[in-house]
């Protein structure tokens, strides 16, 4: 396969080079632009009349059926609060304010809704620093 393609390429190259020294003159052929006609579909053989549509069979119960299968209520298991190990679980307001400024503590308290949430935020910040 490899040798065949190389041999064919060489033959084509040699055939193009095998001239007897004369240059062939290339005559310029004027370009003729032909306009193509757009095919128009033929007329239908028979004239069809539209039918009246009756929509008296519409039913809400068919279109929007009630689900007969009752979904079992999903019970949410109350997770016990997991106390973080080490110094994170014993952080209080003063330690949090000492770690971050009073301005940030107030900002977190207003953003999250309570001081307890801002203390949790301080615990998360401290956990990422270690």
Q: Where are the domains of the chain?
A: 90-130
pLDDT at 79: 62
pLDDT at 18: 55
Mean pLDDT of 1-15: 75
pLDDT tens per residue, range 46-77: 888 888 877 777 777 777 777 677 777 777 77
pLDDT tens per residue, range 105-117: 888 888 888 888 8
Q: Is the pTM of this model over 0.75?
A: no
Question: What DSSP line would sit under the chain, residue for residue?
Answer: -HHHHHHHHHHHHHHHH---SPPPPPPPPPP-PPPPPPPPPPPPSS--PPPPP--TT--HHHHSPPP-SPPPPPPPPPPPPPPPSGGGTT--HHHHHHHS-HHHHHHHHHHHSSHHHHHHHHHHHHHHH-
């Amino acid at each position: 396969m490899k040798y065949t393609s190389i041999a064919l390429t060489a033959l084509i190259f040699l055939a193009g080079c095998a001239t007897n020294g004369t240059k062939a003159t290339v005559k310029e052929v004027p370009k003729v632009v032909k306009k193509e006609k757009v095919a128009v579909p033929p007329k239908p053989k028979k004239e069809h009349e539209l039918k009246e549509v009756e929509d008296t069979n519409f039913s809400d119960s068919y279109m929007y059926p009630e689900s007969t299968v009752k979904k079992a209520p999903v019970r949410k298991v109350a997770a016990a609060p997991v106390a973080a190990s080490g110094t994170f679980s014993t952080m209080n307001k003063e330690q949090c304010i000492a770690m971050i400024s009073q301005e940030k503590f107030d900002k977190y308290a207003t953003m999250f809704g309570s001081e307890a949430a801002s203390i949790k935020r301080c615990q998360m910040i401290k956990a990422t620093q270690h």
